Structure 1
């Protein structure tokens, strides 16, 4: 297993936060701060992202779920609530089936059970660009995919969060980014998701240009009893509207 960078803070039952591709655990800063008074928050960098170890060669969703499971087994007590956004949401779908004893509830944000033709083509283009042009050359496109135009134009705290997201994207290892893209392209959870037995919340971004409301609704319908909530954001809903995001998670956990 690769060495994963992680941060564990707070008190109470454990909530694991799993970030989107091309980001790092810093994307959860505001959400983590809102959850910590009631929960122990364990957030981590995926392999090849942030300060986690780069693993050469291809990657699979199974391997990413194995990474997360090993982290949970080492640093959490009992089953956890797993919150994943984007790629983290794909990891959540995999870990809930592969390691059901570790997951008591699931939050899947801005994610899908599989990528359609348009989303797959966009992912493939970004993977090629990462290898030929480098991560910095793709940063503006990534930010435009992640955030609404209004949020990108906001000054103050919003601008600081955008700058942090840009820095994390540029710092991501290009080969790891490509491997993550390939793992996402191969993922298809339409048959395995009906095996998920834990309570689940699905969060969509109303202005997410890559993961449409239709794709998120399809994901929601593959998991028995899953609830769908929509936030008026782009792809990185937890960064753009962290208070709204955290409130949805807290409301969900309080309902269990």
Structure 2
């Protein structure tokens, strides 16, 4: 087996309508395209994941969870040291919540959702209690705020590959001229095609990418100063202002919220 992929047969069988799977990953590892017979609630307790589905590419950070309906093919790339946690739910477990299976959803991982993930994977919860907790989790998922994509990603081998490289190698100083040269395009053509594919300019996307990449530093316990510098900001104040504008909260507040999980 390729050391950078995971054997899908290793996941434990369904029990009482749900099952769990936990695995830690390092940058560069991936789970190749696959699907599950049950719906999946995917969460990164730490780290950042890039999840590709037929309709979209999504960057998932610890303040988010991803709901993937049964049968939807997807692959996962890990851009940082990541503690991945998944819950799987059978059709029977979802008999009263079948509307959840209409599409892939990016959801806000509230403090209670994060607490439940932490407790369910602690292995100290009696089975009957765990079943009650998973029922509560489903109710919270059903009511959770659905989030838009914080960072649009192109689902192709041109812009998508370039974006993944920028994120994994933190190439924050790459100019549009350098990026267009890599793709053998003129800056004007690159700009037009990029805007059409991503719905935003190269400059705006790079600014968002830097902020999204800072999430891993923040949520792994690094200082605000380290997160700011790691995202390519010269000072903490500018970083905080940009972070609040995109995520609606300050880096410090998000870090404190994550510590309660």
Shared fold, TM over 0.5: no
TM-score between the two structures when normalised by the length of structure 1: 0.26
In terms of fraction of residues, the more helix-rich structure is 1
In terms of fraction of residues, the more strand-rich structure is 2
Larger Rg: 2
TM-score between the two structures when normalised by the length of structure 2: 0.26
Q: Which one scores higher on RCO, CA 8 angstroms, separation ≥ 6?
A: 1
